[in-house]
Amino acid sequence: MTATPVPPAHATVPVTTATPDVSHALHSPVIAWFDEHARDLPWRRPEAGPWGVMVSEFMLQQTPVSRVLPVYEQWLARWPRPADLAAEAPGEAVRAWGRLGYPRRALRLHGAAVAITERHGGDVPRDHAQLLSLPGIGEYTAAAVASFAYGQRHAVLDTNVRRVFARTATGVEYPPNATTAAERRLARALLPEDEETAARWAAASMELGALVCTAKSPDCARCPVAGLCAWRLAGKPAHDGPPRRGQTYAGTDRQVRGKLLAVLREAVGPVPQAVLDTVWDEPVQRARALDGLVSDGLVEPLAQGMYRLPQS
């Protein structure tokens, strides 16, 4: 098959429209590369099932695979089915979340487990609309579970996929800070027609972004579609859009929240205010962080200045 190059960024062809020839030219080499180089991750194994896929998708949001792996294994060993998690207090989900960060994800996953148990007999639903109606599940997670767990045809747009599409199809180094309607149209246009290939394409393009088309050091020599990449063909122009958001942690309220939660996770019972006061010297920031945890439902205040992880 003769490959049709993707037009570079300065071309007059609308970058949000992918021709069938361009789409087909991308699919085969990326999927073939994935078949050879995909990592052996536990949520990709058949025994993971839809619940394992869902747990991984919650945990992998803004968190690297290396940090997720041990927590994922412990989580599935303790709660192999949604009903097992739903039977526990939400605070136990927060405790088991450990230091993965963004612990509201633990509460949302617990809420989804409760809804799955109550509405769907304990089975993760196959239907995209039903997935989307679960607590804490947005468009990305619903599409990812439907695609990776059930082999359905959906555009799965995470940061890695968005970066691959930005470079190969639109000729820019980085995608916008927030997903745009144009990106969604492009992702749908690039989807293979049959479900099995579409699901494989979703996983393959994501893995390509994670391992080869990385944010800081893309390895174009290893890329299976380097010859079709609009960004590479245009000379790899530097990013000229809005500044990319950096991740800061030290000294932030997020760090204080993490320290407060660490004390509560390790405690076997309620913790007095005086103990929490020792985790951070600045009282105003400490109080703001604790108030935020209470407001988010991650911490439950009790009488006489005591605090614990949520029990209901």
The set of catalytic residues is 57
User: How many C-beta atoms lie closer than 10 Å to residue 274's C-beta?
Assistant: 8
Phi, psi of 176 (to 5 degrees): -60, 160
Which residues are 301's β-sheet partners?
307
Name residues whose C-beta falls within 8 Å of residue 123's C-beta, 6 or more positions apart in sequence: 50, 82, 116
Q: At what angle do helices 195-211 and 139-150 cross, to 10 degrees?
A: 110
The rounded distance, in Å, linking the Cα atoms of 105 and 111 is 10
The rounded distance, in Å, linking the Cα atoms of 106 and 219 is 34
Which residues are 273's β-sheet partners?
none
- The answer to whether the CB of 57 falls within 8 A of the CB of 144 is yes
